[in-house]
Structure 1
Amino acid sequence: MSVEGSPPAGPLVLGGDLGGTSTRIVIADSEGNVVGRGAAAGGNPTSHPASAAANFGQALHAALAGLDASEVKAAVVGMAGGSALGRPDVAARFDEAWTGAGLTVAPDYIGDLEVAFASGTPQPDGIVLIAGTGSNVGLVRDHQLVRTVGGHGWLLGDEGSGFWLGREAVRSVLQALDLREPLGLLEQTVVQTVLPDRDQHSVAEREGYDALRDDLVRTVNSRPPVLLAELAPAVIAAYAQDDETARGLVKRAAELLTETVARLKTTSDQGPMVLAGSVAGESSPVGQLIRQHFAGEVLTARDGVGGATWLALGALDPTLATTANHSRLVER
């Protein structure tokens, strides 16, 4: 924990951003000054059911060190995989972590779509698209999520996501092997990543095609499906080297994501669109194609925990949800 600036002004608020790779907590005073920070490993209760609550508690204790937890009067915690809190055992662990840190105010757990939108703009209305490991789109009205499309998970959806890119990259390898075609740059990278000890030169022999295909299928199916998202950077890198297969996948991913947005977006929609996630980022070719497609204001999500903290200020007192406080908390 690090204390920033002078002693806290007035009551405190807490913002949280719990994701698959990290848990981050920020404490701010009523003037938007950050007075405490804490971080720990992943806090997604769906993907990390055993450790998420413990990591949450660790980050809370670090952020509150040297502060009076009872002075926290509003708390907004953004969480990926928050549906798991519907399970009594998971909810009990998170309640224990919360009260164990000395907090007395009830936390407002919200989804990562709302946090992403708030981190990208202080405006109350708009659309948010997250495309990272998975993909999801939400309609925000008065800072609250009122409707979603997509986000159906790797088995039923997540079109255009990092998972989708990784799966399609593997499928391109399997198709080439079925057709007895040489592997291109992307396909070679996939084999090297999934089967680092496999001799690719064996595919030059007819009998090697089936063996390589079987090894690839067996290895991919033995791992958690979500790990296919780890191949997304390989697609982006091959795209940069003008690989034909990668360029087709990037273009199709952007099309699928814009089609998902189209299920929600109408001509009457007001406000900006906020893009979040590695696949939709400004440096990603998928994100660049999405930005070219949509007219109007297209923004990029920033610090999620800052967005959650700003929402907590608004929950404490709507007059505190100012543009100045948004800039102070988010654009750091």
Structure 2
Amino acid sequence: MSLERPVPEPRDPVVLMPATALVLGGDLGGTSTRIVIADHDGNVVGRGAAAGGNPTSHPASAAANFGQAIHQALGDLDPALVRTAVIGAAGGSALSNPGVRAEFDAVWNGAGLIVEPDFIGDLEVAFASGTPEPDGTVLIAGTGSAAGLVRDHRLVRTADGHGWLLGDDGSGFWLGREALRSLLRALDLGEPIGALGEAVVKAVLPNRDEQANAEREGYNRLRDDLVRTVNSRPPVLLAELARTVVAAYEQNDKTAHALVKRAAELLTETVSRLRTTSDMGPFVLAGSVAGESSPVGRLLRQTIHEHFNGEVLTARDGVGGATWLALGVLDPALATRSNHARLVS
């Protein structure tokens, strides 16, 4: 009879922690601010939400929205029980400004929290929301675009993310700007503007009297109206035209197809600055442009499969990813796969 004992199936480690230990995760986005508080078992015990908390795009209200979400999440919980906090900030670079950071510190301390918050970039949070793996690559393509190389859950290199003026190639802003530029070129040449061009005109000039303007001024007046209207608005609003491009793509508009294809190529080029064909680890894709329902996202997944190794995953709940990272800061043994599944589902 063999005396060998069967090898048990691996399990998540059992960690003894104070029953009162809590962690806080945050996600400060351009459209919303979300806070989650969880216990050391990964059970959510508090949630809070408010309007946009990106200090770059909402400098006047970001800190106040941050504070509102924190107070809502804490509820009746003792803030002193929060032992670690990880907060992803899409506009995190603005927090290096002493005045901006002072506003955020004021609402943090005003909530009674005594732990020092760890503000990290949205790339790290997006990666953690998509996979519990420590190493891999992340690409965010929404209003802007940026890629990052992650090692041991930390960002070690980035590509793009330079903003609408200097980069963000293949992003929603890029799609919107290129759609408008293609329309203006057609108007310059006196060519038909096509389905995409017509949709862009309606989006930018919703109250335009098409027949009257065409009879009186022709294309020159339309071109001038478009240029004047767009230049009078915040540039980032061009990203709203990305939806117009996608709609025209679904209608088989030739120009929209070319723009979608080029956006996917540019995003692939951004990733290639960080990752070689032999590198391993998963790809995590985040943002509306890189989403599975986006034509850019579908083409992007195809090109990644063709040129790189590694599983392609979609980012999930960003605030859940931040909370899971906070558990790992509290104790690395708590950053388990089961806790990850519980927090990002």
Provide the TM-score with structure 1 as the length reference: 0.96
1:84 aligns with 2:94: yes
What do residues 307-328 of structure 1 show as CA deviations (whole Å, max 9, x unaligned)?
0000000000000000000000
Query: 3-state DSSP class of the match of 1:237?
Result: helix
Look up the match of 1:317.
Answer: 331
In structure 2, give the amino acid aligned to 1:326: H
1:326 aligns with 2:340: yes
1:74 aligns with 2:84: yes
What value does the CA root-mean-square deviation take over the aligned residues?
A: 1.2
1:182 aligns with 2:192: yes
Residue 202 of structure 1 and its aligned partner are, at CA, apart by 5.1
Superposed, which structure 2 residues align to 1:222-261 within 5 Å? 222-261=232-271
What do residues 287-320 of structure 1 show as CA deviations (whole Å, max 9, x unaligned)?
0001111133000000000000000000000000
Equivalent of 2:202, from 192, 203, 207?
A: 192
- Provide closer, same or farther for how the CA distance between residues 203 and 250 of structure 1 changes in structure 2, counting only shifts above 3 A: farther
C-alpha contact 1:168 1:249 (8 A) present in aligned 2: yes
C-alpha contact 1:129 1:274 (8 A) present in aligned 2: yes
In structure 1, give the amino acid aligned to 2:174: W
- Partners of 1:330 and 1:190 lie apart in 2 by 37
Look up the match of 1:30.
Answer: 40
**Higher CA-based Rg:** 2
Look up the match of 2:106.
Answer: 96
Equivalent of 1:302, from 316, 326, 333?
A: 316
Look up the match of 1:4.
Answer: none
Residue 182 of structure 1 and its aligned partner are, at CA, apart by 1.9
Superposed, which structure 2 residues align to 1:1-332 within 5 Å? 9-201=19-211, 204-205=214-215, 207-295=217-305, 296-331=310-345
In structure 2, give the amino acid aligned to 1:64: L
- Partners of 1:264 and 1:202 lie apart in 2 by 52
Provide the TM-score with structure 2 as the length reference: 0.92
Residue 84 of structure 1 and its aligned partner are, at CA, apart by 0.8
- Partners of 2:293 and 2:191 lie apart in 1 by 32
Query: 3-state DSSP class of the match of 2:103?
Result: helix
Kindly report structure 1 stretches of 4+ aligned residues shifted beyond 3 Å.
Answer: 201-207
- Partners of 1:12 and 1:33 lie apart in 2 by 10
- Partners of 2:135 and 2:19 lie apart in 1 by 29
In structure 1, give the amino acid aligned to 2:304: F
Which stretch shifts more, 267-276 or 55-64? 267-276
Residue 73 of structure 1 and its aligned partner are, at CA, apart by 0.2
- Provide closer, same or farther for how the CA distance between residues 206 and 261 of structure 1 changes in structure 2, counting only shifts above 3 A: farther
Query: 3-state DSSP class of the match of 2:281?
Result: coil
- Partners of 1:89 and 1:68 lie apart in 2 by 28
Contiguous gaps of at least 5 residues in structure 2: 1-17
Contiguous gaps of at least 5 residues in structure 1: 1-7
- Provide closer, same or farther for how the CA distance between residues 245 and 267 of structure 1 changes in structure 2, counting only shifts above 3 A: closer
Residue 10 of structure 1 and its aligned partner are, at CA, apart by 3.4
- Partners of 1:56 and 1:124 lie apart in 2 by 28
Query: 3-state DSSP class of the match of 1:40?
Result: strand
- Partners of 1:203 and 1:185 lie apart in 2 by 19
- Partners of 1:98 and 1:11 lie apart in 2 by 18
- Partners of 1:75 and 1:15 lie apart in 2 by 6
- Partners of 1:197 and 1:212 lie apart in 2 by 12
- Partners of 1:172 and 1:9 lie apart in 2 by 60
In structure 1, give the amino acid aligned to 2:220: D
In structure 1, give the amino acid aligned to 2:338: A
Query: 3-state DSSP class of the match of 2:293?
Result: coil
- Partners of 1:244 and 1:203 lie apart in 2 by 26
- Partners of 1:240 and 1:278 lie apart in 2 by 16
Residue 269 of structure 1 and its aligned partner are, at CA, apart by 2.4
C-alpha contact 1:273 1:297 (8 A) present in aligned 2: yes
What do residues 68-121 of structure 1 show as CA deviations (whole Å, max 9, x unaligned)?
100000000000111111111101000001011110000000000000000000
In structure 2, give the amino acid aligned to 1:26: V
Residue 207 of structure 1 and its aligned partner are, at CA, apart by 3.8
